[in-house]
A and B are shown apart, each in its own frame.
Chain A
């Protein structure tokens, strides 16, 4: 748990989620630990297949049929969550906005009616009170009250996202889990939604986990960041720290590969290779095959981030002590063009 009295609203410890498929068990999340301090926005960032969506769905208890928790603990407000308990918390204290807003909005009912249904069925409110609250929620997310009687298809992409967020906030949750909420939106609308989320966090003292693949979005909105790769957390800490002084080679590589509108650099440096097959992940550090700094030891021992203090900037790299030197080398594109000399595959 965090020190000096800062409470962790969510504490995920060594979470493991496996999917059973015809190809065997896919270890989508394999030992991920991170914590969300109360009232802060944590960005969960990584590329496709890194396990970030799976982790969040596990927290919500909405895994696909062939997924199951294979280990670890999820602690919310001091209580351990098991499968049945999470479902009870659904829509009450933890709210989830899934990746596509359309999937949380039923196309055959008006948006107002859907919010009212949530409030009356799950929130025990009376109908009149529910409609009033729905209007309040729309106001909170910047939508006009008159749109309550519209159907989802009558909303633009950005407005649908706002509506989905309004619905998620209906029962006054303490934690909001948002999966790629702005990915499909145009950049100006994206900025408006991000600003709205920041405002919500401040007004409602909402804690948030924002899942995204876009580190620029994380830099804009989040207070802390958790970087995932191949089902594991490989770096976490305050966003300013992690972005300015990354300590894990993957994060360093990601920084190089990410375009920065304002930087002078005209070079984007790719990370060669591709993420491992999670049905049969490599032993030891999963990034080692692509890592320019890998040592032989990286492919043997298992390096995981243990439960960390959110304020600490931690990295799951064996060579963490040399992070500063590695970082300097990582800035040179030539480093990434050489393949790792100790690559296992």
Chain B
């Protein structure tokens, strides 16, 4: 693994270009059209899981209600494009901003709370959003939802076809990764990680924890909203039950299995869970049994997830010292 990483770092720019080229070729080289749909879902959920990972994997808060922010984004697109004909590309950032604002509101009561209290509040907020979507008929279509959401304009391409919609998700994913990488490698990102690792120490070093925790929520919610906005035309019809706690737990499973605290973890998680969902569709409830077993297995074997941050409190908090000379390089394992 580390040899791959070494190679990667050396030829980073080249590697990214090659990767990008491969990704662009995917919709054209996949044999079946339905596989392209899978690819779209993988990309979409990768970013959604990534948005949850920002909160759960980088600030020490366990949010269970990402479905709510997702819903805000989706309904913004659905309602404003069908009612006022506003362009998808304008709504994309606007949906994100709206979701970020809701994220701010949700963060307010959680600032003084910890652990499960915080998680329950996020779950409650997500449910409240869903119920409002289900009952606020003039805006959200109530239980009937919103139909025939217009497809975005993309250089005249027929985005109705997943082959081309794929690129919308790809662009969103790439922008998300690029921006997030920059944020994480900055004072803001360091503050988040400090809060995650040891909040008291962070406070004593001058990090305003309430501000950064709130900012973190807003950032995660923003991207969930953006993805939601892209989701709406893709499925063409949205209604409240698509944003239930099950959806939220689905996304949670992705980062628990795939990895928290790294940029690649959610991508791995999205790939695994989406492929399982699609290929095992016929198994119905057994699918969820498999996820559940995977989640529990992860917590036992590798709490940070497959591709998660091993060097963090996410990995279980115990340090195993290798028998080496004093001060030498060691590694963190989960206790």
A, B from the same assembly: no
Chain B residues at the A interface, C-beta cutoff of 8 Å: none
Chain A residues at the B interface, C-beta cutoff of 8 Å: none
